[in-house]
Amino acid sequence: MSDLISIPPEDASPGNSVVTAGPFWPDIDINDFRESFRVAGPEITHARLVLALRGALLSLRSETIEWKAAQVAAGYATLAAIPADEIDGESVNIHLYRRAIYAFAAADLLENHRDTTATGAGLGRIEESQPTAGDHKRNATHAIRDLKGKRRVKSALI
């Protein structure tokens, strides 16, 4: 007789885990990202999530540096202070910011982690039904353009 004890891996980050983004940008709740994008399992550790979210913040900051400077110069010390419509009692700007960060982080995770237990056929089915890293990057870009109040450009190569 063999004894097998299975302890499921912890797939949540510690409570109240956040990545701080500085005085202008709101903090990012790691568990909210984990829940929103169904990030679970032992292969995506808390440390890996933090790394992906920090990378997402760096990407967003590099794309919004001039826009943010203009907002601060206009007297808005935080993203939440910028006048905007609200959805569910929260500024649309905050929703767009969070959407961009989550999409960049999800793209990073997708590019660097695959389910190693899936067969070739299984991976094909997963890839057909799941958003790709490119989809997430597009969503992040759209959110940033919306935040900046810029138009989106659609083009097709013929």
Full 3-state SS string of 52-117: HHHHHHHHHHHHHHHHHHHHHHCCCCCHHHCCCCEECCEEHHHHHHHHHHHHHHHHHHHHHCCCCC
Ranges 2-11, 79-88, 117-126, most confident:
79-88
**Which pLDDT belongs to residue 155?**
61
Could you tell me whether strands 28-29 and 86-87 are parallel, antiparallel, or unpaired per DSSP bridges?
Answer: unpaired
Condensed to tens digits (0 to 9), the pLDDT of residues 18-33 reads 999 999 999 999 999 9
Residue 109 lies in a domain: yes
Residue 78 lies in a domain: yes
Residue 60 lies in a domain: yes
Residue 99 lies in a domain: yes
Full 3-state SS string of 3-65: CCCCCCCCCCCCCCCEECCCCCCCCEEHHHHHHHCCCCCCCCCHHHHHHHHHHHHHHHHHHHH
% of the chain surpassing 70 pLDDT: 69
The span from the CA of 92 to the CA of 83, in Å, is 9
Residue 124 lies in a domain: no
Pick the more confident residue, 98 or 119. 98
Q: What is the CA radius of gyration of the chain?
A: 18
Count of structural domains within the chain: 1
Pick the more confident residue, 8 or 133. 133
Contact 101, 28 (CB under 8 A): yes
Amino acid at 133: A
* CA torsion through residues 118, 128, 137, 77, sign: negative
pTM of the model as a whole: 0.71
Residue 63 lies in a domain: yes
Q: Which domain holds residue 141?
A: 24-31+45-114+130-147
Residue 16 lies in a domain: no
Condensed to tens digits (0 to 9), the pLDDT of residues 84-115 reads 999 999 999 999 999 999 999 988 888 776 54
Condensed to tens digits (0 to 9), the pLDDT of residues 48-74 reads 899 999 999 999 998 899 999 999 999
Residue 122 lies in a domain: no
